[in-house]
């Protein structure tokens, strides 16, 4: 099964040329998309979260973009060269923002300088600038980036950083136009295929074709996004003809939807890992009542919680087979993932109980497991399954499933002792989840930006930093394998499964899915 999964991942993606060519000649037609999760902001530098980034990548361009195999290809930069720690980018000429103003290297400098100044970012974009020491505009169409050390992942990291207009997005606040201003459309000028029209939270987000776009015109006059967190509701809207394309139809409905000749179903293996994070910092921890000592700091307890989870059962019974059980944060043999944790650990209830007893909790304890409801495929159901499995070993678990916006706010305020979430590995290699989820939390350095369990292992940090500055692929892979093995052996977090991404659409529409799970409407086309 693993080999089949990886063949799909490698072979089912578009080539860069096909992805660019998917932008067909314009037609007079709107595209209505049902989103499972509404973006939390229009500010493209506020929240490194898929619902946000897939929207910003439609309005804005980065220097380089990720193709559907997560490899960097030219975007606003036509070419680049590297000399040691110095990268020189030649920018695309005659590019205009949606407001008609010209794009220059100064816009890139402004955009990168703004990132650390955006206040209250739940998952900061500093993750992608950790290796950058200095950014300079050499001339209007030449940009120089100096890195702190050799930076093998610089290009794929820059693909996550959309470029704003310095003229449009400047302002008196340290970050220029504030997140609130950008949410209203004020300063929201990009070079992407679409431009912002309006946003009514909870109801509708509207984009129109950007007539100043430098690339091939996208297929749709307008794109209308409608947030629909209820999966059954998304299916009903598609069947009624109210929407054209939906994200993540319910796994239970897939067999019937595939039989409907009026619909087309797209399935794509993803690099999104679902995981459980545990508080390994607070004393006491907020979600465990009656204990002054935090049991999650004990590796034996974390291992017991892992052994209690039957990942194969979750895949089969909760996910309907639309997932693959995970033993690491990236499927093997993707870059930096080791054979040692290629397979998901098997459940062992008796050993889990023994470990709890050895740790001083023979009768277990009570815990609350936080989870979003509607952010990921069957997320609240997966959380309930984990809770039931933990309860079997004496860890009596209550699930607090919340609307995604509420969940992330509580998670980011450290109000959970344990929580279920997902992470999409944007770079296709292990450094990305290590740097975001597991390195000691230091957002200013781009380390541990989403490490809300506050796990800390200086030895693992050192290996990850060394890998980040190693240009030799074989050496970098070995370092990443060593670092990820260390984290998995420590039960730093508990990987559960990798999602299979699914889209359903009217039969005359085609969207070839991406392993990063983004719905990029500029690549949706009319069936020929």
Is residue 150, in this structure, part of any structural domain at all?
A: yes
Is residue 78, in this structure, part of any structural domain at all?
A: yes
> Are 311 and 416 members of one domain?
yes
Q: Judge contact between 526 and 219, C-beta under 8 A.
A: yes
The region that residue 127 occupies, defined by phi over 0 for left and psi between -120 and 50 for alpha, beta otherwise, is alpha
Is residue 41, in this structure, part of any structural domain at all?
A: yes
> Are 217 and 281 members of one domain?
no
Is residue 354, in this structure, part of any structural domain at all?
A: yes
Reported as a single tens digit per residue, the pLDDT across 337-396 is 999 999 999 999 999 999 999 999 999 999 999 999 989 989 999 999 999 999 999 999
Burial class (CB in 10 A: 0-12, 13-18, 19+), 119: exposed
Tell me how long the chain is.
528
pLDDT of residue 516: 86
Is residue 261, in this structure, part of any structural domain at all?
A: no
Reported as a single tens digit per residue, the pLDDT across 130-186 is 899 999 999 999 999 999 999 998 999 999 999 999 999 999 999 999 999 999 999
> Are 142 and 275 members of one domain?
no
Q: Tell me the H-state helices in 401-491.
A: 404-412, 431-433, 458-468, 473-489
Tell whether the model's pLDDT for residue 235 goes beyond 60. yes
Bridge-partner residues for 325, per DSSP?
A: 497
Q: What is the C-alpha separation between 326 and 467, in angstroms, rounded? A: 23
Q: Domain boundary residue among 195, 229, 263?
A: 229
Q: How many domains does the chain have?
A: 2
Q: What is the C-alpha separation between 450 and 333, in angstroms, rounded? A: 24
* Domain CATH code at residue 338: 3.10.105.10
Tell me the residue range of the domain where 389 lies: 271-500
> Are 275 and 224 members of one domain?
no
Phi and psi angles of residue 109, each rounded to the nearest 5 degrees, phi first = -60, -45
Lowest-confidence segment of 10-19, 189-198, 251-260, 315-324 by average pLDDT: 10-19
Query: CA–CA distance from 452 to each of 25, 69, 120, 411 (Å)?
Result: 45, 29, 14, 7
> Are 409 and 315 members of one domain?
yes
Phi and psi angles of residue 358, each rounded to the nearest 5 degrees, phi first = -60, -30
Is residue 528, in this structure, part of any structural domain at all?
A: no
Over residues 444-454, the mean pLDDT reads 93
Is residue 21, in this structure, part of any structural domain at all?
A: no
Is residue 257, in this structure, part of any structural domain at all?
A: no
> Are 391 and 289 members of one domain?
yes
% of the chain surpassing 90 pLDDT: 83
Q: Name the E strands within 26-76.
A: 30-35, 64-66, 72-74
Tell whether the model's pLDDT for residue 418 goes beyond 90. yes
Q: What is the pTM of this model?
A: 0.78
Reported as a single tens digit per residue, the pLDDT across 54-106 is 999 999 999 999 887 778 899 999 999 999 999 999 999 999 999 999 999 99
Any idea which residue has 């309860």 for tokens? Answer: 391
* Domain CATH code at residue 136: 3.40.190.10
Q: Judge contact between 457 and 465, C-beta under 8 A.
A: no
Q: Domain boundary residue among 229, 263, 280?
A: 229
Q: What is the C-alpha separation between 106 and 182, in angstroms, rounded? A: 20
The region that residue 30 occupies, defined by phi over 0 for left and psi between -120 and 50 for alpha, beta otherwise, is beta
% of the chain surpassing 70 pLDDT: 95
> Are 279 and 212 members of one domain?
no
């Amino acid at each position: 099964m693993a080999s089949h999964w990886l063949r799909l991942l490698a072979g089912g993606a578009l080539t860069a040329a096909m992805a660019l060519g998917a932008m067909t000649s314009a037609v007079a037609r709107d595209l209505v998309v049902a989103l499972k999760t509404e973006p939390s902001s229009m500010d493209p530098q506020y929240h490194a979260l898929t619902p946000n980034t897939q929207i910003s990548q439609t309005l804005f361009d980065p220097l380089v973009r990720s193709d559907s195999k997560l490899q960097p290809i030219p975007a606003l930069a036509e070419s680049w060269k590297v000399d040691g720690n110095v990268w020189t980018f030649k920018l695309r000429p005659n590019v205009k923002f949606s407001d008609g103003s010209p794009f220059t290297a100064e816009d890139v400098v402004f955009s990168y300088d703004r990132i650390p100044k955006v206040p209250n970012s739940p998952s900061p974009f500093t993750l992608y600038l950790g290796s950058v020491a200095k950014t300079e505009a050499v001339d209007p169409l030449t940009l120089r980036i100096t890195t702190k050390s050799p930076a093998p992942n610089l290009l794929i990291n820059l693909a996550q950083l959309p470029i704003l207009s310095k003229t449009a997005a400047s302002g008196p606040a340290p970050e220029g136009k504030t997140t609130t201003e950008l949410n209203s459309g004020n300063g929201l000028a990009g070079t992407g295929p679409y431009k912002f029209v309006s946003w009514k939270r909870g109801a509708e987000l509207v984009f129109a074709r950007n007539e100043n776009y430098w690339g091939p015109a996208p297929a749709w006059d307008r794109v209308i996004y409608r947030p629909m967190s209820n999966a059954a509701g998304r299916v009903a809207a598609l069947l009624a003809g109210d929407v054209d394309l939906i994200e993540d139809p319910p796994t239970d409905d897939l067999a019937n939807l595939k039989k409907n000749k009026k619909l087309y179903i797209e399935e794509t293996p993803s690099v999104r890992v679902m995981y459980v994070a545990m508080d390994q910092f607070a004393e006491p921890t907020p979600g465990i009542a009656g204990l002054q000592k935090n049991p999650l700091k004990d590796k034996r307890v974390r291992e017991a919680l892992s052994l209690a989870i039957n990942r194969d059962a979750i895949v089969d019974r909760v996910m309907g087979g639309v997932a693959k059980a995970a033993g690491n944060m990236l499927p093997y043999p993707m870059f930096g993932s080791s054979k040692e944790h290629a397979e998901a650990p098997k459940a062992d209830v008796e050993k889990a109980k023994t470990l709890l007893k050895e740790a001083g909790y023979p009768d277990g304890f009570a815990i609350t497991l936080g989870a979003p409801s509607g952010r990921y495929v069957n997320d609240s159901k997966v959380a309930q399954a984990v809770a039931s499995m933990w309860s079997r070993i004496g860890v009596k678990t209550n699930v607090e499933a919340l609307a995604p916006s509420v969940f992330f706010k509580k998670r980011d305020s450290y109000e959970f002792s344990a929580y279920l979430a997902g992470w999409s590995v944007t770079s296709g290699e292990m450094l990305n989840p290590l740097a975001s989820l597991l390195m000691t939390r230091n957002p200013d350095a781009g380390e541990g930006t989403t490490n809300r369990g506050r796990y800390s292992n200086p030895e693992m940090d050192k290996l990850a930093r060394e890998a980040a500055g190693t240009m030799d692929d074989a050496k970098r892979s070995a370092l990443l394998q060593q670092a990820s093995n260390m984290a998995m052996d420590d039960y730093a977090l508990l990987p559960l499964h990798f999602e299979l991404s699914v889209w359903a659409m009217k039969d005359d529409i085609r969207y070839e899915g991406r392993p990063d799970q983004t719905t990029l409407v500029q690549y949706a086309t009319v069936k020929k």
